[in-house]
Amino acid sequence: MKSHYQILVIGGGTAGIMTAAQMLRKNAKLDIAIIEPSETHYYQPAWTLVGAGDYEFDKTVRATADIMPKGVDWIKDRATGFDPENNLVSTLESGNITYDYLVVATGLVMEPGMIKGLPEALEQGVACSNYINPEHTWETLRNFKGGNALFTQPTTPIKCGGAPQKIAYLAADYFRKNGLKDKANVIFATPGTVIFGVKEIRETLMHVIDRYGIHFKPFYAPKEIDIENRIVHFSHTAPDENTCVINEDNDLGEKMYGDVDIHVPFDMLHLAPPQAAPKFVRESVLSNDAGWLDVDHHSMQHKKYPNIFGLGDVAGLPTAKTGAAVRKQVPVVVDNLVKLMADKTADNHSYNGYSSCPLVTGYGKMTLAEFDYKNNFIPDPKLKRMLVFNSAKEHWRLYMFKKYGLPYLYWNKMMKGKKV
């Protein structure tokens, strides 16, 4: 096996595959390797629908070998460390691999241990999560008979920040369709200050919350799962002027201890686990203070090492971690790599923080949040022409686009390095 490559990519997820595929479309003779240990590749955006029983899990799965770009060397191994001064990456079993240019696209990892009791709650099936096992979420939803259905998310950045609330809306719709509306208290608790940062989308989602009668709890940061008593302990994170007041004998059975400790009982619990960059990234010289890859926000070039780029979920970018963001990041990285290889300056700083979140608000209903670093609502003109309506409002066409259109584009365009 070779130990040196012109371009070395760490990660065979969306960002890594797309970058390699687009580079090879520029020049099929490039010497590229991808380090990726997993034999299986998942289309995770569909897991929201799997968790609601409206998509087959098997359709989200492909063999990594089937999507690996032709002309790439696939190193079935795990990267373990960096030595950027010597252009070197260490691996678990393949020794050291050197490079001319490095693309870090490792994605992120689940860190349930950051919330006390969460690993055990997931292992015992007391909690469910579309991020880990969407089929278990669907099983939990089907078996729910009434009580508190609690949906929450951590204080860490997470992939697809809207996913924890999407399943809450689908669950509320499921309960309504199956005669459980009056027996269920649907609760969405978030450490955030608002339901969504983009004004146009936020207005739509507040109407959705009102329609379902969802109990919306901002400033709620989960810190412990009491499995035995089925209680989630939250810290209340609001500034003093937003002091939380909980009345005794409330419908949810909430209790407050002191000024910030809130206990919420549950009969069903869905949550996004805390998430972080892989340990070998966050403990490396390539990471920023928060543990994410320290790259320029507009070029994705590393701030200290110019022959290193990082994109996708591992990158320290102040925007949502989504496949849609990757779709816009990859061409910028590819353009900059091509320029560097031609002894030119990597001067493409055109990435504006674009990300999008398809917010499913019920069966057959969706709104599409597209936004930039400043949370401006920036709907794609092509999509607008194709679907001919205001994508900030709920529409069945958007739901169909998510269920059928986006998976097709992912497997047949994005993963093959074609323009989308």
Q: Identify the CA nearest to 275 among candidates 137, 122, 365, 161.
A: 161
- DSSP conformation letters of 101-147: EEEE----EE-GGGSBTHHHHHHTTSSB-TTT-HHHHHHHHHH--SE
Annotated catalytic residue within 160, 221, 272, 334:
160
Q: Are residues 98 and 167 in the same domain?
A: no
Q: Residue 207: is it exposed, middle or buried by C-beta count within 10 angstroms (0-12/13-18/19+)? A: exposed
Q: Does any domain span residue 400?
A: no
Bridge partners of 91, per DSSP, are 79
User: Each residue of 103-158: pLDDT tens digit?
Assistant: 999 999 999 999 999 999 999 999 999 999 999 999 999 999 999 999 999 999 99
Q: 357 catalytic, yes or no?
A: yes
Same domain for 223 and 155, yes or no, is: yes
The 10s digit of each residue's pLDDT in 13-52 is 999 999 999 999 999 999 999 999 999 999 999 999 999 9
Q: Are residues 341 and 229 in the same domain?
A: no
Please state the domain count of the chain. Answer: 2
Confidence of residue 348 (pLDDT cuts 50, 70, 90): very high
Task: State the Cα–Cα distance between residues 325 and 353, nearest whole angstrom.
Answer: 7
Give the model confidence (pLDDT) of 222-270 as tens digits: 999 999 999 999 999 888 666 676 777 788 999 998 878 999 999 999 9
Residues 263 and 306 in one domain: no
Is 97:9 a contact under the CB 8 Å cutoff?
A: no
Question: Are residue 86 and residue 189 in the same domain, yes or no?
Answer: no
Question: Of 72, 108, 357, 398, which residue is the catalytic one?
Answer: 357
CATH number at 48 reads 3.50.50.60
Residues near 387 by Cβ (< 8 Å), separated by ≥ 6? 395, 397, 398, 401
Task: Examine the pLDDT at 416 and tell me if it is beyond 90.
Answer: yes
Query: Are residue 103 and residue 116 in the same domain, yes or no?
Result: no
pLDDT of residue 388 exceeding 60, the answer is no
244 is catalytic: no
Same domain, 206 and 153: yes
Based on the fold, state whether residues 321 and 222 are members of the same structural domain: no
Residue 133 shares a structural domain with residue 76: no
Q: What is the pTM of this model?
A: 0.96
* 195 or 384, higher pLDDT: 195
Q: Are 238 and 259 found together in one domain?
A: yes
Distance CA 81, CA 61 (A): 29
| Chain centre distance of CA 261 | 28
Task: Report how far residue 208's alpha carbon sits from residue 105's, in angstroms, rounded to the nearest whole number.
Answer: 35
Domain assignment present for 70:
yes
Q: Are residues 253 and 134 in the same domain?
A: yes
Domain that holds residue 164: 111-274
Choosing from 331, 349, 367, the residue where a domain stops is 349
Averaged pLDDT of the chain: 95
